[in-house]
Structure 1
């Protein structure tokens, strides 16, 4: 019971910690906290610049246990995955009771309440930035700059080609002369480079035509026989994830445990499925499933696909 009260106080902190590392943290049988990256923005009215951040939302339909939260609590508290799952369930019951009469504050993530229709409403804590890349960056002040149209400079140029006459030529931008000179120089340089390239290619062509290649003993042909491997249609599912990044993290975690884990695509709900491994026959898959249920997780199940 002592541990139960400890989890009661810290479950919100565990969710808070995981949101810095993952885009989605699901609380089984309660809902999921999902983050979306938004870029830096400028508030012209407040003359302020805001750094990039992760915006947190809550999805009450994400209730399937993907194992992320339970694994984190289990590794932190040095307990089993099943024990961590049990303690999360106890905390969820406490949260649901509290929501009947009041508000829940989830660490620095935000607050949860119920409206008159008994639906969960989430108000994110806008002062918290879960984007690690923006660590240390804060709101900055900005000063508006008003641009004035540059005055057109008029320059009088004397045309010396016509004797006895002075013809004023108006150059609207002094920079135009520099641009014109640059274009002329670039054009001449391009012509030179083109001529040099043509000469180089001609010399190379002569050398290639003069060369003779003789193969005295060609390599023998090799016949490769490729056997068709039977498909692995039986999979042991470890979890289904809304965020692809979480699915890849689960694959890496299972591979570190020695499993031939991989992603096998999306299910009918649009969630990315991760499996412990895939097998040729149902018998071999069932044997592996029993061992995984006994040693790793009771949540594993067999999928024929």
Structure 2
């Protein structure tokens, strides 16, 4: 099997894809840029880095692999585990692991993982179809000649070559000063009129509101009590699975047991294998879900796992 194919698919949709017991491929967005030396314009893209400290199975890769291959989750986890062992054995022998369209992995002299990202694919979907291009520099000589021609007619605009001619500066200063004085006088008159109009309109509005309030004032002798409802809606595509049951009655019992233990447990339906799935809780934030999964594994159920699925 080609593990890099499934990792590549997920990098288009997620910022972090963890390979259990190996490490995580993390993407970050960089803006478009221009190379001044070659006049080349590059579109925005995702750059890939590798973090060998993140090894905990978050269920994302295993769940996607299992769904594509149409095999149970446990079988998918075992296949990926075997593939990771093969990769580690090659790395230990000094081999370079080439992950197609992702990059290359190898070990340095100290035994630490080194990653060289591939530049062949841009995983940023917003930049789909964009490629780099070269644009020649713009020559400024033509504009300089046009400016010099205009100076002969309008003495306000000056080029560096004619800054020593003080007459141009004198005419320009007089023109700018006159425009500034005229603009200031007109602006003050305009804002005074606007302010007077706003004050009159505001007073009229206050009178109308006061009149409406006096007409609508009444007293309720027996007002209805205020009812406050607090609803905790479980949403999000990240679900911490407690178990899957062939018999629905067993799934109902499991939900009640978890609720009694203080969890917001519920059933999320029947999966493609005909099993009734029970979850501890659902989350919209992936990091929050991973933290909750880690806590549940440490305190309640080591076999709990994360399901990534949008529920209808």
- How far the C-alpha of 1:198 sits from its partner, in A, is 1.7
Q: Of 117, 121, 132, which residue of structure 1 is paired with 2:125? A: 132
- Secondary structure in structure 1 of the residue aligned to 2:48: strand
TM-score w.r.t. the length of structure 2 is 0.64
* Alignment partners' CA distance in 2, 1:219 and 1:138: 72
Q: Distance in 2 between matches of 1:19 and 1:262?
A: 21
**What's 1:218 paired with?**
220
Q: In structure 1, the residue corresponding to 2:238 is in which secondary structure?
A: helix
Q: Is residue 250 from structure 1 mapped to residue 242 from structure 2 by the alignment?
A: no
In the alignment, which residue of structure 1 is the partner of 2:6?
14
What are the ranges of 5 or more consecutive residues in structure 2 without an aligned counterpart? 157-168, 231-235, 243-265, 270-278, 307-312
Question: Quick one: distance in 2 between partners of 1:94 and 1:24?
Answer: 22
Query: Aligned in 2, Cα 1:134/1:196: closer, same or farther, shift over 3 Å?
Result: same
5 Å-filtered alignment, 1:1-305, equals: 7=1, 10-99=2-91, 100-145=93-138, 154=155, 170-172=171-173, 185-208=186-209, 212-213=214-215, 215-218=217-220, 220-222=222-224, 249-251=237-239, 257=268, 259=279, 260-262=281-283, 272-274=290-292, 298-300=303-305
C-alpha deviations, 1:199-243, integer Å up to 9, x for none? 222333444555634644425345569899xxxxxxxxxxxxxxx
What RMSD over aligned residues (CA atoms) do the two structures have, in Å?
4.2
Q: What residue in structure 2 maps to residue 235 of structure 1? A: none
Inter-partner Cα distance in structure 2 for 1:137 and 1:16: 19
Q: CA separation in 2, counterparts of 1:183 and 1:122?
A: 64
Query: Residues of 2 paired with 1:174 and 1:105: CA distance?
Result: 70
**Of Structure 1 and Structure 2, which has the larger fraction of its residues in helix?**
2
Q: Give the deviation of 1:273 after TM superposition.
A: 1.8
Q: 1:208 to 1:91 in 2, by over 3 A?
A: closer
1:157-213 deviation line (CA, Å, top 9, x unaligned): xxxxxxxxxxx9612597887676666554433332222212222333444555634
Distance in 2 of aligned mates of 1:177 and 1:36: 54
Q: Return the offset for 1:120.
A: 1.2
Q: Unpaired segments of 5 or more residues in structure 1?
A: 1-6, 156-167, 229-247, 279-284
SS at match of 1:257: strand
Quick one: distance in 2 between partners of 1:20 and 1:112? 20
Residue-pair matches, total: 245
| Residues in 2 aligned to 1:252 and 1:173: alpha-carbon distance in whole angstroms | 76
